[in-house]
Amino acid sequence: MSRLQRIVLAFAATVLATPAFAAGIAVQQPWVRWLPADLPAAGYATLVNTGDMPVTLTGVSSPDYGAVMLHRSLNRGGMERMVTVNSIPVPPHGRAALAPGGYHLMLMQPRRAIRPGQQVTLTFTFGDGRTITVQAPVRPANASG
Amino acid sequence: MKRAVLLTMLAVLFALGGCGSQARVWRLTDVRGHLPDLAFTLTDDTGKVVDAADFRGKLVLLYFGYTHCPDVCPLTLTHLHVLMQRLGPLADRTRVLFVSVDPARDTPAILHAYVSAFDPHITGLTGTPAQIEALAKRYRVAYNRGPTLPGGGYEVAHSAGIYLFDRRGRARLLATDADPIGAIEHDVRGLLGTAP
């Protein structure tokens, strides 16, 4: 990739940061709930699919964390548990919410001191290979959304 | 005439008595008489050994969780933070006890950092596995450690209930994390109004 291409890409990524679009799919309102002591933090966003075909989120990566996993909180019979999921489906002309109490990103091993008020970079990868990179604001632990 | 006065007095007494003993309409689940009084010995997030008597005089909201829980526990603690904000000065008459079901990782120091990030009315409690098991069993709270994940971490499944104790330490109400904050606020105000 040429230097010019890199600059154009970087510019495009900045301009499209919130919300970010690929063809037919968008990542809207991303945010991270900050936790102290390098504890794993949760990341949230709304995935919007404006296309005619189902889309699948297959993974998220971040230069700011050593590992990112797709998780889902489940309440069965009054028991709260978290399960790891391999993918999150986004129906055609529909959306998938990564929101507190449901699907979320588990952001582990922060690579730098992350504080509320900062932003972290999240790259969403979809089943067809498309990627969308967004800047997610880091909100305080007790943020309501 | 005397009889009329007597009847009036009786009627007034009956009305007053009826009013005072009128069953309050709780929005949460009434567990009075079904669960034992608050009792435990644990270590708080400053490293001090505490027991239930240390919290007598406060309305206690007891919740089980763990700090390596980035989604549901923060959501519940955020709801409780909003509750404390809505209570205003009354919040000082309550205490949230966040009991770790993951004592292997939850040291007082980590618990302190965690609960302090949510609200000053929250105390983190940890202890030996036996101490925590004793308290969990007392309120039929289940928890179990999940399999080890890549990277060495693990999850702990746990009951999601919030147990409300009046200022004498009597178990009164049970909330779930699905109950709206308004319902918890309504009943906390009710308990603070009726508790001695």
* Interval B99-130: pLDDT, tens: 999 999 999 999 999 999 999 999 999 999 99
CB contact under 8 A, B176 and A140: no
Instruction: Give pLDDT tens digits for B43-63.
Output: 999 999 999 999 999 999 999
- Quote the CA–CA distance of B65 and B80 in Å, as a whole number: 13
Tens-place pLDDT, residues A43-77: 999 999 999 999 999 999 999 999 999 999 998 88
- Nearest Cα to Cα of residue B63 among B113, B15, B117, B115: B115
Confidence band (pLDDT; 50, 70, 90) for B19? very low
Do A66 and A23 contact (CB within 8 A), yes or no? no
- What's the rounded mean pLDDT across residues B177-191? 94
pLDDT of residue B47: 98
Query: Do residues A64 and A120 lie in contact, with contact meaning Cβ atoms separated by under 8 Å?
Result: yes
Whole-model pTM: value is: 0.85
**Nearest-by-Cβ selection for A142 from B81, B150, B153:** B81
The closest of B36, B51, B156 to B97, measured between CA atoms, is B51
Asked whether the predicted pLDDT for residue B172 surpasses 70, the reply is yes
Q: How confident is the model at residue B17 (pLDDT cuts 50, 70, 90)?
A: very low
| Widest pairwise Cα distance in chain B | 87
Q: What is the ipTM of this complex?
A: 0.84
Which domains are delineated in chain B? Answer: 28-194 (3.40.30.10)
- Taking any CB pair shorter than 8 Å as contact, residues of chain A touching chain B are 33-37, 39-42, 66-67, 69, 71, 73, 75, 78-82, 84, 100-101, 104, 106-109, 140-144
Of residues A33, A66, A81, nearest to B70 (C-beta): A33
CA distances from B16 to B5, B24, B193 (A): 16, 15, 17
Q: Is the pLDDT of residue B5 over 70?
A: no
Q: Give the C-alpha separation, A142 to A106, whole Å.
A: 17
| Alpha carbon A128 to its chain's center | 17
* Strand A103-110 with A79-84, pairing: unpaired
Contacts of A103 in chain B (CB under 8 A): none
- Please tell me if residue B104 touches chain A, with a CB cutoff of 8 Å: no
Indicate the pairing of strand B49-51 with strand B41-44.
antiparallel
Q: What percent of chain A has pLDDT over 70?
A: 84
Residue A32: list chain B partners with CB under 8 A.
Answer: none
Interface of B with A in 23-62 (CB under 8 A): none
Average model confidence (pLDDT) for chain A?
A: 89
Average pLDDT score, chain B = 89
Among B22-26, B164-168, B188-192, the range scoring the smallest mean pLDDT is B22-26
CB contact under 8 A, A108 and B71: no
Task: Note the pLDDT of residue B56.
Answer: 97
Q: Give mean pLDDT, residues A113-122.
A: 97
CB distance B157–A80 less than 8 Å?
Answer: yes
CATH number of A3-131: 2.60.40.1890
Nearest to B160 by CA among B39, B76, B61: B76
